[in-house]
Structure 1
Amino acid sequence: MLLSAIKTLLPQLSTVAFRLENGDTVPEHFHVTEVGLIEKRFIDCGGTLRTEKVVNFQLWDADDYEHRLKPGKLLHIITLSEAQLGISDDLPVEVEYQQATIGRYDLACEGDHFVLRNKATACLARDRCGIPAPTAGTGPNSCTPGSSCCS
């Protein structure tokens, strides 16, 4: 989900609510403890230099049970972050949320909830690594039966 989509949705919401793909909800007394601009520079396994930029929200569940983040307050935090961090591009938003460990999630919206979507790793240089392109109906981490990608 792009930052612009979140900024468009927030004024239409009465509350800010997050849930995970499995249906578990982030407690309603969560805090957004950070809004960041993260730039990752890396070389993929095929030797190609790549850059990834995302806006990052960090959610934190504290023992502050009376806390409720309102849509207008989150919009204000986003606007302040854009100005202070120089965020001028319409970037994807990633969310950090801790359960057993800190997880990184893509963000989507379903109805009146923001949904933390599971991320997956992938080979970005499939053609150079000899990994067959995925076939229809298979996920990024699965192989076609009988192919050599699993051996």
Structure 2
Amino acid sequence: MKLSELKNKLKKLSKIAFQLPNGELVPNHFHITEVGKISKHFIDCGGVIRNEEVVNFQLWEAKDYDHRLHPEKLLNIIELSEEKLQIPDLEIEVEYQMKETIGKFSLHFDGTNFQLKSKLTDCLAKDNCGIPVEKLNTKIGEWKQKEVTSCCTPDSGCC
């Protein structure tokens, strides 16, 4: 989700809720402790130089149970950040404290909650780094038959 999309959605909401990938909601007394622009300048394993920029939000919760961030307050924080940090309309990345480390998520909206979707690592130069592309060895029509197989047996075709 881009920053402009988030701002448009906030204008229509009366409360903010963030939902984790496992379905749990971030406690509603969360704070947004940072809004910023992150720039990443790197070279991938295929030798291509790349630049990426995202708007970063850091969600944090404390024992401040009476705190509630309302949509208009978050909108004000975003607009101040855009002005002071010269943040363009970029994709949003959200950081949230998981059990042992910080989780990084992309942001989506389901009509009610902002959904934190897990981000995964990936090779950006698959065509240059020698890792073969995985192919599915299934003939047309066989996938329906294989879906019903509940376990892997020598004649199931899964091995």
Q: TM-score, normalised by structure 2?
A: 0.82
- Residue 104 of structure 1 deviates from its aligned partner by 0.7
Residue of structure 1 equivalent to 2:15: 15
Residue of structure 1 equivalent to 2:94: 95
Aligned-partner residue type, residue 93 of structure 2: E
Aligned-partner residue type, residue 92 of structure 2: V
Query: What is the distance in 2 between the residues matched to 1:73 and 1:134?
Result: 47
Aligned-partner residue type, residue 120 of structure 2: A
1:45 maps onto 2:68 in alignment: no
Deviation string for 1:7-54 (max 9, x for gaps)? 100011110100112101100000000001000111100111111100
**What do you get for the CA RMSD once the two structures are aligned?**
1.5
Residue of structure 2 equivalent to 1:142: none
Structure 2 residues without counterparts, runs of 5 or longer: 137-157
- Cα distance change of structure 1 residues 122 and 65 upon mapping to structure 2, 3 Å threshold: same
- Residue 135 of structure 1 deviates from its aligned partner by 5.3
Q: Report how many residues are paired.
A: 137
Query: What is the distance in 1 between the residues matched to 2:114 and 2:17?
Result: 6
Query: What is the distance in 2 between the residues matched to 1:99 and 1:115?
Result: 15
- Residue 112 of structure 1 deviates from its aligned partner by 1.2
| Aligned pairs (5 A) from 1:12-91 | 12-87=12-87, 89-91=88-90
Query: What is the distance in 1 between the residues matched to 2:132 and 2:4?
Result: 35
Aligned-partner residue type, residue 23 of structure 1: G
Identity, in percent, stands at 58
Aligned-partner residue type, residue 98 of structure 2: Q
| Aligned pairs (5 A) from 1:116-131 | 116-131=116-131
- Residue 132 of structure 1 deviates from its aligned partner by 3.6
- Residue 111 of structure 1 deviates from its aligned partner by 1.8
Deviation string for 1:82-113 (max 9, x for gaps)? 001011x3100000000211111101001210
Query: What is the distance in 1 between the residues matched to 2:133 and 2:13?
Result: 40
Query: What is the distance in 1 between the residues matched to 2:28 and 2:132?
Result: 44
Deviation string for 1:116-136 (max 9, x for gaps)? 000000000000012344658
Query: What is the distance in 2 between the residues matched to 1:134 and 1:114?
Result: 33
Query: What is the distance in 2 between the residues matched to 1:129 and 1:47?
Result: 9
Query: What is the distance in 2 between the residues matched to 1:135 and 1:37?
Result: 38
| Aligned pairs (5 A) from 1:111-150 | 111-133=111-133
Structure 1 residues without counterparts, runs of 5 or longer: 137-144, 147-151
